[in-house]
Structure 1
Amino acid sequence: MQTRKLYLLGGNTSQEEANSHFAKAAGGENAHIALLIVYREGYEAFLPRYTSHWIAQGVHKKNISVIVPNERGELATEDATDIVSNATGIFIGGGHSKTYYSLYAKEPFKQLLREKYAACTPLAGNSAGALLIPETVLLSPHDTDNQQAWSGPGLGILQNQLISVHFSQWHDEPNLISGLHHHNIPFGYGIDEDACLYLENENPTAVFGNEQVKRIEKGTL
Protein backbone atom coordinates (compact mmCIF):
# COMPACT_ATOMS: atom_id res chain seq x y z
CA MET A 1 0.00 0.00 0.00
CA GLN A 2 1.38 3.39 -1.00
CA THR A 3 1.83 6.19 1.50
CA ARG A 4 0.99 9.87 1.05
CA LYS A 5 4.03 11.90 2.13
CA LEU A 6 3.91 15.58 3.09
CA TYR A 7 6.80 17.83 4.15
CA LEU A 8 6.13 21.22 5.76
CA LEU A 9 9.31 23.29 6.19
CA GLY A 10 9.16 26.32 8.44
CA GLY A 11 11.38 28.77 6.59
CA ASN A 12 14.84 27.38 5.87
CA THR A 13 14.42 25.78 2.47
CA SER A 14 17.86 24.17 2.47
CA GLN A 15 17.32 21.83 5.42
CA GLU A 16 19.43 18.77 4.65
CA GLU A 17 17.46 16.08 6.49
CA ALA A 18 14.07 17.11 5.09
CA ASN A 19 15.30 17.62 1.53
CA SER A 20 17.24 14.37 1.47
CA HIS A 21 14.20 12.45 2.71
CA PHE A 22 11.98 14.19 0.13
CA ALA A 23 14.39 13.47 -2.73
CA LYS A 24 14.56 9.77 -1.85
CA ALA A 25 10.77 9.59 -1.57
CA ALA A 26 10.48 11.23 -5.01
CA GLY A 27 12.61 8.50 -6.56
CA GLY A 28 16.25 9.50 -6.07
CA GLU A 29 18.09 9.08 -9.35
CA ASN A 30 14.76 8.32 -11.05
CA ALA A 31 13.01 11.39 -9.67
CA HIS A 32 11.40 14.14 -11.70
CA ILE A 33 10.87 17.08 -9.35
CA ALA A 34 8.68 20.10 -10.04
CA LEU A 35 9.76 23.19 -8.10
CA LEU A 36 7.05 25.87 -7.93
CA ILE A 37 8.31 29.34 -7.03
CA VAL A 38 7.52 33.00 -7.64
CA TYR A 39 9.57 35.49 -9.61
CA ARG A 40 12.13 37.68 -7.93
CA GLU A 41 15.08 39.36 -9.59
CA GLY A 42 18.07 37.05 -9.50
CA TYR A 43 16.01 34.04 -8.40
CA GLU A 44 18.34 31.71 -10.32
CA ALA A 45 21.05 32.30 -7.74
CA PHE A 46 18.77 30.96 -5.01
CA LEU A 47 17.86 27.71 -6.77
CA PRO A 48 20.74 25.67 -5.26
CA ARG A 49 19.19 26.28 -1.83
CA TYR A 50 16.35 24.08 -3.05
CA THR A 51 18.18 21.66 -5.31
CA SER A 52 21.62 20.90 -3.82
CA HIS A 53 20.45 18.24 -1.38
CA TRP A 54 18.23 16.65 -4.05
CA ILE A 55 21.17 16.38 -6.41
CA ALA A 56 23.26 14.89 -3.60
CA GLN A 57 20.65 12.12 -3.37
CA GLY A 58 21.10 11.29 -7.05
CA VAL A 59 18.39 13.45 -8.62
CA HIS A 60 19.58 14.54 -12.06
CA LYS A 61 19.68 18.30 -12.52
CA LYS A 62 17.96 17.94 -15.90
CA ASN A 63 15.04 16.28 -14.11
CA ILE A 64 14.40 19.28 -11.85
CA SER A 65 11.87 21.56 -13.57
CA VAL A 66 11.41 25.06 -12.19
CA ILE A 67 7.97 26.62 -12.59
CA VAL A 68 8.24 30.39 -12.24
CA PRO A 69 6.20 33.29 -13.66
CA ASN A 70 7.88 36.03 -15.62
CA GLU A 71 8.61 39.47 -14.14
CA ARG A 72 5.04 40.54 -14.98
CA GLY A 73 3.68 37.67 -12.92
CA GLU A 74 2.53 35.73 -15.98
CA LEU A 75 2.80 31.94 -15.94
CA ALA A 76 2.77 29.54 -18.90
CA THR A 77 0.01 27.53 -17.25
CA GLU A 78 -0.26 24.71 -19.79
CA ASP A 79 3.47 23.99 -19.69
CA ALA A 80 3.48 24.24 -15.90
CA THR A 81 0.58 21.84 -15.41
CA ASP A 82 2.25 19.34 -17.77
CA ILE A 83 5.38 19.45 -15.60
CA VAL A 84 3.40 18.95 -12.39
CA SER A 85 1.36 16.14 -13.94
CA ASN A 86 4.53 14.21 -14.79
CA ALA A 87 6.43 14.94 -11.57
CA THR A 88 7.36 12.24 -9.06
CA GLY A 89 7.90 14.90 -6.38
CA ILE A 90 6.51 18.43 -6.00
CA PHE A 91 8.07 21.21 -3.93
CA ILE A 92 6.34 24.58 -3.40
CA GLY A 93 8.91 27.19 -2.44
CA GLY A 94 8.97 30.20 -0.17
CA GLY A 95 8.74 33.93 -0.69
CA HIS A 96 5.90 36.43 -0.91
CA SER A 97 3.02 34.39 0.47
CA LYS A 98 0.16 36.31 -1.15
CA THR A 99 1.81 35.84 -4.56
CA TYR A 100 2.21 32.12 -3.96
CA TYR A 101 -1.43 32.01 -2.92
CA SER A 102 -2.62 33.81 -6.05
CA LEU A 103 -0.65 31.45 -8.29
CA TYR A 104 -0.79 28.01 -6.74
CA ALA A 105 -3.80 27.85 -4.40
CA LYS A 106 -6.15 28.51 -7.31
CA GLU A 107 -7.14 26.47 -10.36
CA PRO A 108 -5.77 24.76 -12.32
CA PHE A 109 -3.10 24.02 -9.73
CA LYS A 110 -5.39 23.48 -6.76
CA GLN A 111 -7.11 20.40 -8.13
CA LEU A 112 -3.95 19.11 -9.82
CA LEU A 113 -1.88 19.30 -6.64
CA ARG A 114 -4.64 17.60 -4.68
CA GLU A 115 -4.84 14.81 -7.26
CA LYS A 116 -1.07 14.30 -7.37
CA TYR A 117 -0.85 14.15 -3.59
CA ALA A 118 -3.80 11.75 -3.39
CA ALA A 119 -1.94 9.53 -5.88
CA CYS A 120 1.00 9.45 -3.41
CA THR A 121 3.34 11.90 -5.17
CA PRO A 122 5.46 13.36 -2.33
CA LEU A 123 4.56 17.00 -1.71
CA ALA A 124 6.69 19.56 0.11
CA GLY A 125 6.24 23.22 0.92
CA ASN A 126 8.61 25.71 2.52
CA SER A 127 7.24 28.74 4.38
CA ALA A 128 4.68 30.16 1.91
CA GLY A 129 4.44 26.74 0.28
CA ALA A 130 3.65 25.09 3.62
CA LEU A 131 0.98 27.69 4.39
CA LEU A 132 -0.98 26.78 1.25
CA ILE A 133 -1.48 23.15 2.29
CA PRO A 134 -4.40 23.31 4.79
CA GLU A 135 -8.06 23.91 4.06
CA THR A 136 -7.59 27.39 5.54
CA VAL A 137 -4.49 29.49 4.88
CA LEU A 138 -3.51 31.71 7.81
CA LEU A 139 -0.95 34.45 7.18
CA SER A 140 0.85 36.13 10.05
CA PRO A 141 0.93 39.94 10.35
CA HIS A 142 4.67 39.49 9.72
CA ASP A 143 3.80 38.01 6.33
CA THR A 144 1.45 40.59 4.79
CA ASP A 145 2.08 43.94 3.15
CA ASN A 146 -0.25 45.77 5.55
CA GLN A 147 0.95 43.94 8.70
CA GLN A 148 -2.54 42.51 9.29
CA ALA A 149 -3.33 38.81 9.70
CA TRP A 150 -5.07 37.33 6.66
CA SER A 151 -6.82 34.08 5.86
CA GLY A 152 -8.36 32.41 2.81
CA PRO A 153 -9.19 28.98 1.38
CA GLY A 154 -6.16 26.80 0.80
CA LEU A 155 -5.43 23.55 -1.04
CA GLY A 156 -7.40 21.52 1.48
CA ILE A 157 -4.85 18.72 1.76
CA LEU A 158 -4.92 19.04 5.56
CA GLN A 159 -8.31 19.41 7.23
CA ASN A 160 -9.30 20.98 10.56
CA GLN A 161 -5.87 22.38 11.36
CA LEU A 162 -3.80 25.49 10.75
CA ILE A 163 -0.12 25.93 9.95
CA SER A 164 2.19 28.70 11.15
CA VAL A 165 5.78 29.11 9.88
CA HIS A 166 8.81 31.00 11.19
CA PHE A 167 6.98 30.22 14.42
CA SER A 168 9.50 31.07 17.15
CA GLN A 169 11.29 33.65 15.03
CA TRP A 170 8.07 35.62 14.42
CA HIS A 171 6.66 34.97 17.92
CA ASP A 172 3.59 33.84 16.03
CA GLU A 173 1.79 31.85 18.72
CA PRO A 174 -0.79 34.61 19.46
CA ASN A 175 -1.65 34.80 15.75
CA LEU A 176 -2.05 31.03 15.51
CA ILE A 177 -4.27 30.90 18.60
CA SER A 178 -6.36 33.79 17.30
CA GLY A 179 -6.77 32.00 13.97
CA LEU A 180 -7.89 28.79 15.67
CA HIS A 181 -10.61 30.64 17.55
CA HIS A 182 -11.68 32.81 14.62
CA HIS A 183 -12.10 29.84 12.29
CA ASN A 184 -13.22 27.38 15.00
CA ILE A 185 -10.40 24.99 14.11
CA PRO A 186 -9.29 22.60 16.87
CA PHE A 187 -5.50 22.74 16.57
CA GLY A 188 -2.53 23.92 14.56
CA TYR A 189 1.20 23.43 14.18
CA GLY A 190 3.81 26.13 14.66
CA ILE A 191 6.93 25.24 12.66
CA ASP A 192 10.25 26.95 13.38
CA GLU A 193 12.49 28.08 10.53
CA ASP A 194 14.93 25.18 10.81
CA ALA A 195 12.29 22.49 11.31
CA CYS A 196 10.15 20.34 9.05
CA LEU A 197 6.95 18.58 10.03
CA TYR A 198 6.76 15.30 8.12
CA LEU A 199 3.38 13.60 7.75
CA GLU A 200 2.36 10.24 6.32
CA ASN A 201 -1.27 9.89 5.28
CA GLU A 202 -1.85 13.29 6.97
CA ASN A 203 -0.60 11.98 10.32
CA PRO A 204 2.45 13.64 11.93
CA THR A 205 5.25 11.10 11.73
CA ALA A 206 8.55 12.92 12.36
CA VAL A 207 10.15 16.31 12.86
CA PHE A 208 13.30 16.95 10.85
CA GLY A 209 15.81 19.73 11.45
CA ASN A 210 17.44 21.51 14.36
CA GLU A 211 14.44 23.40 15.74
CA GLN A 212 10.95 22.56 16.90
CA VAL A 213 7.37 22.01 15.79
CA LYS A 214 4.76 22.91 18.39
CA ARG A 215 1.17 21.66 18.41
CA ILE A 216 -1.23 24.35 19.64
CA GLU A 217 -4.77 23.53 20.77
CA LYS A 218 -7.67 25.97 20.34
CA GLY A 219 -8.11 26.08 24.10
CA THR A 220 -4.55 27.36 24.63
CA LEU A 221 -4.53 30.72 26.41
Structure 2
Amino acid sequence: MKEQIFLMGGNPPITKYSIVDKIVLSSKIERIIIFTVFRENWEPYMKKYTEVFQSHFPNLKINYLLLDTEQIDFDSYLDADLIIIGGGNTEKYIATYVNQEFKNYIDHMLNKGVKVIGFSAGALLLGEKVYVSPNDNSDHQIKIKNGLGLFSQFLISVHYDSWNDKANKDRAEELVSVPIIPLNDHSCLVLDRFGNIIEKID
Protein backbone atom coordinates (compact mmCIF):
# COMPACT_ATOMS: atom_id res chain seq x y z
CA MET A 1 0.00 0.00 0.00
CA LYS A 2 1.39 3.35 -1.05
CA GLU A 3 1.05 6.31 1.32
CA GLN A 4 -0.84 8.98 -0.59
CA ILE A 5 -3.41 10.69 1.64
CA PHE A 6 -2.30 12.47 4.81
CA LEU A 7 -5.03 13.64 7.20
CA MET A 8 -3.59 16.22 9.61
CA GLY A 9 -5.44 16.78 12.87
CA GLY A 10 -4.33 20.38 13.27
CA ASN A 11 -2.85 23.44 11.64
CA PRO A 12 0.47 23.87 9.83
CA PRO A 13 3.39 23.66 10.00
CA ILE A 14 3.95 19.90 10.18
CA THR A 15 6.20 19.50 13.20
CA LYS A 16 6.85 15.76 13.17
CA TYR A 17 9.77 14.71 10.99
CA SER A 18 8.33 11.21 10.68
CA ILE A 19 5.35 12.68 8.80
CA VAL A 20 7.48 14.97 6.62
CA ASP A 21 9.76 12.07 5.70
CA LYS A 22 6.85 9.97 4.46
CA ILE A 23 5.81 12.81 2.17
CA VAL A 24 9.20 13.86 0.79
CA LEU A 25 11.53 10.85 0.83
CA SER A 26 9.89 8.77 -1.88
CA SER A 27 9.11 11.59 -4.27
CA LYS A 28 10.65 14.52 -6.09
CA ILE A 29 8.38 17.48 -5.48
CA GLU A 30 8.58 20.27 -8.04
CA ARG A 31 5.11 21.81 -7.87
CA ILE A 32 2.73 22.20 -4.94
CA ILE A 33 -0.87 23.33 -5.30
CA ILE A 34 -2.53 24.72 -2.18
CA PHE A 35 -6.31 24.99 -2.13
CA THR A 36 -7.60 27.45 0.46
CA VAL A 37 -10.40 29.96 1.02
CA PHE A 38 -10.24 33.71 1.36
CA ARG A 39 -9.83 35.28 4.76
CA GLU A 40 -8.06 38.41 5.99
CA ASN A 41 -4.27 38.14 5.74
CA TRP A 42 -4.43 34.70 4.13
CA GLU A 43 -1.23 35.16 2.11
CA PRO A 44 1.38 35.42 4.91
CA TYR A 45 -0.13 32.29 6.51
CA MET A 46 0.54 30.20 3.41
CA LYS A 47 4.25 29.83 4.11
CA LYS A 48 3.37 27.71 7.15
CA TYR A 49 2.15 25.06 4.72
CA THR A 50 5.18 25.18 2.46
CA GLU A 51 8.29 26.09 4.47
CA VAL A 52 8.96 22.51 5.52
CA PHE A 53 8.95 21.44 1.85
CA GLN A 54 10.97 24.39 0.59
CA SER A 55 13.86 23.33 2.80
CA HIS A 56 13.91 19.99 0.93
CA PHE A 57 13.15 21.31 -2.55
CA PRO A 58 14.51 24.86 -2.97
CA ASN A 59 13.24 25.28 -6.55
CA LEU A 60 9.61 24.57 -5.70
CA LYS A 61 6.86 26.11 -7.77
CA ILE A 62 3.85 26.90 -5.57
CA ASN A 63 0.34 27.95 -6.55
CA TYR A 64 -2.33 29.18 -4.14
CA LEU A 65 -5.89 28.70 -5.36
CA LEU A 66 -8.99 30.13 -3.69
CA LEU A 67 -11.96 28.43 -5.30
CA ASP A 68 -14.41 30.53 -3.30
CA THR A 69 -13.25 33.65 -5.17
CA GLU A 70 -11.98 32.40 -8.54
CA GLN A 71 -12.80 30.00 -11.35
CA ILE A 72 -9.90 27.81 -12.39
CA ASP A 73 -9.09 25.41 -15.20
CA PHE A 74 -8.01 22.22 -13.44
CA ASP A 75 -6.18 21.11 -16.59
CA SER A 76 -3.59 23.79 -15.80
CA TYR A 77 -2.69 22.01 -12.57
CA LEU A 78 -2.27 18.40 -13.67
CA ASP A 79 1.52 18.47 -13.19
CA ALA A 80 1.35 19.01 -9.41
CA ASP A 81 3.39 16.59 -7.28
CA LEU A 82 1.72 17.50 -4.00
CA ILE A 83 -1.74 18.90 -3.24
CA ILE A 84 -2.48 20.63 0.05
CA ILE A 85 -6.01 21.47 1.19
CA GLY A 86 -5.84 24.05 3.93
CA GLY A 87 -7.61 24.57 7.20
CA GLY A 88 -10.07 27.18 8.39
CA ASN A 89 -13.84 27.48 8.46
CA THR A 90 -14.97 23.90 7.84
CA GLU A 91 -18.43 24.73 6.53
CA LYS A 92 -16.97 27.28 4.11
CA TYR A 93 -14.44 24.70 2.90
CA ILE A 94 -17.22 22.14 2.40
CA ALA A 95 -19.34 24.65 0.46
CA THR A 96 -16.33 25.52 -1.71
CA TYR A 97 -14.68 22.17 -2.35
CA VAL A 98 -17.26 19.40 -2.02
CA ASN A 99 -18.38 19.18 -5.64
CA GLN A 100 -17.98 16.74 -8.51
CA GLU A 101 -15.45 18.79 -10.45
CA PHE A 102 -13.02 19.03 -7.54
CA LYS A 103 -13.56 15.35 -6.67
CA ASN A 104 -12.75 14.36 -10.27
CA TYR A 105 -9.54 16.39 -10.12
CA ILE A 106 -8.42 14.87 -6.81
CA ASP A 107 -9.30 11.33 -7.97
CA HIS A 108 -7.35 11.86 -11.18
CA MET A 109 -4.31 13.15 -9.31
CA LEU A 110 -4.38 10.29 -6.80
CA ASN A 111 -4.50 7.83 -9.69
CA LYS A 112 -1.35 9.50 -11.04
CA GLY A 113 0.40 8.90 -7.72
CA VAL A 114 0.21 12.45 -6.38
CA LYS A 115 0.12 12.91 -2.59
CA VAL A 116 -2.72 14.84 -0.95
CA ILE A 117 -2.47 16.49 2.47
CA GLY A 118 -5.51 17.86 4.26
CA PHE A 119 -5.14 20.09 7.32
CA SER A 120 -8.06 20.21 9.76
CA ALA A 121 -11.03 21.34 7.60
CA GLY A 122 -9.12 20.15 4.53
CA ALA A 123 -8.77 16.70 6.09
CA LEU A 124 -12.39 16.51 7.25
CA LEU A 125 -13.90 17.22 3.84
CA LEU A 126 -12.01 14.35 2.18
CA GLY A 127 -14.25 11.76 3.85
CA GLU A 128 -17.55 10.49 2.51
CA LYS A 129 -19.19 11.93 5.62
CA VAL A 130 -17.84 14.87 7.60
CA TYR A 131 -18.19 15.32 11.36
CA VAL A 132 -18.35 19.05 12.14
CA SER A 133 -17.74 19.60 15.84
CA PRO A 134 -19.83 22.08 17.86
CA ASN A 135 -16.47 23.83 18.41
CA ASP A 136 -16.27 24.35 14.65
CA ASN A 137 -19.50 26.14 13.74
CA SER A 138 -21.40 29.21 14.90
CA ASP A 139 -24.50 27.16 15.75
CA HIS A 140 -22.46 25.10 18.25
CA GLN A 141 -24.21 21.97 16.99
CA ILE A 142 -22.93 18.55 15.98
CA LYS A 143 -23.31 18.34 12.21
CA ILE A 144 -22.79 15.45 9.80
CA LYS A 145 -22.23 16.66 6.24
CA ASN A 146 -21.34 15.11 2.91
CA GLY A 147 -17.71 15.16 1.81
CA LEU A 148 -15.63 14.14 -1.20
CA GLY A 149 -15.67 10.43 -0.42
CA LEU A 150 -11.97 9.54 -0.55
CA PHE A 151 -12.52 7.36 2.51
CA SER A 152 -15.76 5.86 3.78
CA GLN A 153 -15.03 3.21 6.44
CA PHE A 154 -14.66 5.89 9.12
CA LEU A 155 -14.98 9.61 9.86
CA ILE A 156 -12.38 11.74 11.59
CA SER A 157 -12.44 14.41 14.26
CA VAL A 158 -9.73 17.08 14.29
CA HIS A 159 -8.19 19.24 17.05
CA TYR A 160 -9.38 16.42 19.33
CA ASP A 161 -7.10 17.39 22.20
CA SER A 162 -7.17 21.20 22.01
CA TRP A 163 -10.95 21.24 21.55
CA ASN A 164 -11.46 18.66 24.32
CA ASP A 165 -13.84 17.03 21.87
CA LYS A 166 -14.32 13.53 23.29
CA ALA A 167 -17.91 13.97 24.51
CA ASN A 168 -18.94 15.60 21.23
CA LYS A 169 -17.24 12.90 19.17
CA ASP A 170 -18.93 10.16 21.19
CA ARG A 171 -22.34 11.77 20.62
CA ALA A 172 -21.64 12.22 16.92
CA GLU A 173 -20.67 8.56 16.63
CA GLU A 174 -24.24 7.62 17.55
CA LEU A 175 -25.42 9.45 14.40
CA VAL A 176 -23.27 7.50 11.95
CA SER A 177 -22.75 3.83 11.20
CA VAL A 178 -18.93 3.84 11.19
CA PRO A 179 -16.36 4.89 13.81
CA ILE A 180 -14.99 8.41 14.17
CA ILE A 181 -11.21 8.37 14.52
CA PRO A 182 -9.91 11.16 16.77
CA LEU A 183 -6.90 13.16 15.56
CA ASN A 184 -5.00 15.41 17.94
CA ASP A 185 -3.44 18.67 16.76
CA HIS A 186 -0.13 17.01 15.86
CA SER A 187 -1.51 13.66 14.70
CA CYS A 188 -1.64 12.35 11.15
CA LEU A 189 -3.68 9.51 9.69
CA VAL A 190 -1.98 8.05 6.62
CA LEU A 191 -4.10 6.36 3.93
CA ASP A 192 -3.56 4.77 0.55
CA ARG A 193 -5.39 6.22 -2.44
CA PHE A 194 -8.35 3.93 -1.87
CA GLY A 195 -8.89 5.31 1.64
CA ASN A 196 -7.45 2.36 3.55
CA ILE A 197 -5.59 3.22 6.75
CA ILE A 198 -1.85 2.53 6.62
CA GLU A 199 -0.90 4.03 9.98
CA LYS A 200 -1.72 6.67 12.56
CA ILE A 201 1.12 8.89 13.72
CA ASP A 202 0.61 10.52 17.11
CA 1:174–1:43: 2 relative to 1, 3 Å: same
Matching residue within 72, 77, 85 for 2:72: 77
User: TM-score, normalised to structure 1's length?
Assistant: 0.81
Aligned length: 199
1:62-119 superposed Cα distances (whole Å, 9 cap, x missing partner): x1111124xxx422232xx234432121110101111111111113102221232233
Shift of 1:59: 5.0
Partner of 1:106: 99
CA distance in 2, matches of 1:43, 1:20: 27
Partner of 2:167: 174
CA 1:19–1:99: 2 relative to 1, 3 Å: farther
CA distance in 2, matches of 1:41, 1:173: 31
Structure 1: gaps spanning 5 or more residues: 213-221
Counting only pairs closer than 5 Å after superposition, residues 115-154 of structure 1 correspond to structure 2 as 115-154=108-147
CA distance in 1, matches of 2:38, 2:62: 17
Structure 2: gaps spanning 5 or more residues: none
CA 1:139–1:83: 2 relative to 1, 3 Å: farther
The structure with higher relative contact order (CA 8 Å, sep 6+) is 2
CA 1:75–1:23: 2 relative to 1, 3 Å: farther
CA distance in 1, matches of 2:87, 2:76: 19
Fraction of identical pairs, as percent? 26
User: What is the root-mean-square deviation in Å for CA atoms of aligned residues?
Assistant: 2.0
User: TM-score, normalised to structure 2's length?
Assistant: 0.88
Counting only pairs closer than 5 Å after superposition, residues 1-221 of structure 1 correspond to structure 2 as 3-16=2-15, 17=17, 18-28=19-29, 31-58=30-57, 60-61=59-60, 63-69=61-67, 73-78=68-73, 81-185=74-178, 187-201=179-193, 202-208=195-201, 212=202
Q: Which has the higher helix share?
A: 1
1:33-68 superposed Cα distances (whole Å, 9 cap, x missing partner): 11111111111111110010010111524x111112
CA 1:179–1:76: 2 relative to 1, 3 Å: same
CA distance in 2, matches of 1:54, 1:83: 22
